[in-house]
């Protein structure tokens, strides 16, 4: 049985440059196998340049990590398109970068044209084997299972992969606030009565997003610029047995403004299928959600089955 590999997704929030540089210095020492780098949410977040990401990639590769450059999810201008091409060309030319994560279909098209292998990000909506077969012909090496689908859907997709494309790797979102939607409007700016093009980068004031509650006071969403996230982190850290049975190859943890090192230490317990399983209750965050995995409303939490 293949060992599960831990991945660290791109930072979704707008953290200051100095904080990001310090964060990735720590990442180099953590038990994570793959690191995704880059700004995937908003083109106005420009503190980190492409050269900065490539320098971090170099350091992480030297620390033994596989590095993937992630692309922007919602492209809104010709300038965004040019930056996308520049990023993919830089990834292809840089020895420290192994793959590109395609966050939209224009990135898939450019990767195909340049013969650049890629990961299909969670926003690509790969809901059926036909979609996987198409992208496999374009250079797909790994796909991220859509967050809103159930483990039953994953089982069906995995059965097809094992029969037709056993070389494809499958990554599942293991922890972090789930990205639900992207919009041309910036909700973080709107909350401060600011226009998007003069937002004053207010999203940087909310390093773990801006909580949005219902009129009844229940946690509903998290606003992150143009991105809407779940209110609570989606966690599958108590699903080690299911992940192994479904032959998942990679488990993604999305950076949150918390102690990620402790979280990764807990997740590392899932990597070795030969070790006795950890107590699910010690792995799960009781303030998390996992409804989609069970075919339930996403914001619900299904506790681990008793032993």
Return mean pLDDT, the chain: 92
Helices 78-93 & 105-114, crossing angle to 10 degrees?
40
DSSP letter for each residue of 95-122 = TTEEEEEE-SHHHHHHHHHHT--EEE-G
Report the C-alpha gap between 185 and 191 in whole angstroms: 11
Report the C-alpha gap between 108 and 111 in whole angstroms: 5
pLDDT of residue 18: 96
Answer yes or no: is pLDDT of 283 > 80. Answer: no
pLDDT digits 0-9 by tens, 112-167: 999 999 999 999 999 999 999 999 999 999 999 999 999 999 999 999 999 999 99
Length in residues, the chain: 307
pLDDT of residue 306: 62
pLDDT of residue 90: 96
Answer yes or no: is pLDDT of 75 > 70. Answer: yes
Answer yes or no: is pLDDT of 259 > 90. Answer: no
Report the C-alpha gap between 281 and 141 in whole angstroms: 33
Please state which of the ranges 187-191, 256-260, 289-293, 302-306 shows the lowest mean pLDDT.
302-306
Answer yes or no: is pLDDT of 102 > 80. Answer: yes
Answer yes or no: is pLDDT of 278 > 80. Answer: no
State what percent of residues in the chain have pLDDT above 70: 94
Instruction: Name the token pair of 45.
Output: 């977040």
N-term to C-term CA, the chain: 23
SS3 200: coil
Answer yes or no: is pLDDT of 80 > 90. Answer: yes
Helices 50-62 & 78-93, crossing angle to 10 degrees?
30
Report the C-alpha gap between 99 and 91 in whole angstroms: 7
Q: CB atoms < 10 A from the CB of 166, how many?
A: 8
Instruction: Name the token pair of 193.
Output: 């009565």
SS3 144: strand
Q: CB atoms < 10 A from the CB of 287, how many?
A: 11
Q: Which residue has the higher pLDDT, 263 or 57?
A: 57
pLDDT of residue 274: 59
pLDDT of residue 284: 55
pLDDT of residue 282: 53
Answer yes or no: is pLDDT of 177 > 60. Answer: yes
Answer yes or no: is pLDDT of 264 > 70. Answer: yes
pLDDT of residue 163: 96
Answer yes or no: is pLDDT of 230 > 80. Answer: yes
State what percent of residues in the chain have pLDDT above 90: 79
Report the C-alpha gap between 7 and 68 in whole angstroms: 10
Give the pLDDT band of residue 220 (cuts 50, 70, 90).
very high
Please name which of 169, 209, 232 lies closest in space to residue 34, comparing C-alpha atoms.
169
Give the pLDDT band of residue 82 (cuts 50, 70, 90).
very high
Residue with tokens 């303030």: 287
Give the pLDDT band of residue 252 (cuts 50, 70, 90).
very high
Cα–chain center distance at 81: 21
Answer yes or no: is pLDDT of 292 > 60. Answer: yes
């Amino acid at each position: 049985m293949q060992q599960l590999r831990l991945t660290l997704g791109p930072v979704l929030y707008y953290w200051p440059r100095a904080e990001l540089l310090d964060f990735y210095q720590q990442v180099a020492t953590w038990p994570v196998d793959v690191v995704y780098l880059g700004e995937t949410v908003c083109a106005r977040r420009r503190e980190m340049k492409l050269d900065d990401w490539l320098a971090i990639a170099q350091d992480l590769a030297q620390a033994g990590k596989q590095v993937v450059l992630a692309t922007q999810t919602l492209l809104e201008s010709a300038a965004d398109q040019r930056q996308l091409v520049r990023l993919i060309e830089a990834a292809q030319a840089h020895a420290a970068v192994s793959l590109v994560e395609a966050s939209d279909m224009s990135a898939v098209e450019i990767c195909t044209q340049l013969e650049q292998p890629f990961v299909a990000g969670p926003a690509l909506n790969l809901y059926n084997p036909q979609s996987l077969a198409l992208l496999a012909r374009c250079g797909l090496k790994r796909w991220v299972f859509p967050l809103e689908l159930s483990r039953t859907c994953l089982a069906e997709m995995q059965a097809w992969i094992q029969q037709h494309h056993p070389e494809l790797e499958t990554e599942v979102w293991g922890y972090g606030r789930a990205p639900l939607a992207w919009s041309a409007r910036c909700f973080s700016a709107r909350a401060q009565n600011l226009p998007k093009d003069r937002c004053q980068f207010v999203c940087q004031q909310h390093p773990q997003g801006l909580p949005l509650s219902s009129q009844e006071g229940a946690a509903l969403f998290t606003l992150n610029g143009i991105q809407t996230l779940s209110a609570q982190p989606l966690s599958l850290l108590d699903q080690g047995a299911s992940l192994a049975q479904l032959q998942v190859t990679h488990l993604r943890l999305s950076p949150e403004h918390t102690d990620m090192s402790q979280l990764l230490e807990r997740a590392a317990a899932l990597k070795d299928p030969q070790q006795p399983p950890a107590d699910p209750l010690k792995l799960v965050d009781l303030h998390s959600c996992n409804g989609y995995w069970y075919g339930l409303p996403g914001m619900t939490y299904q506790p681990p089955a008793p032993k």
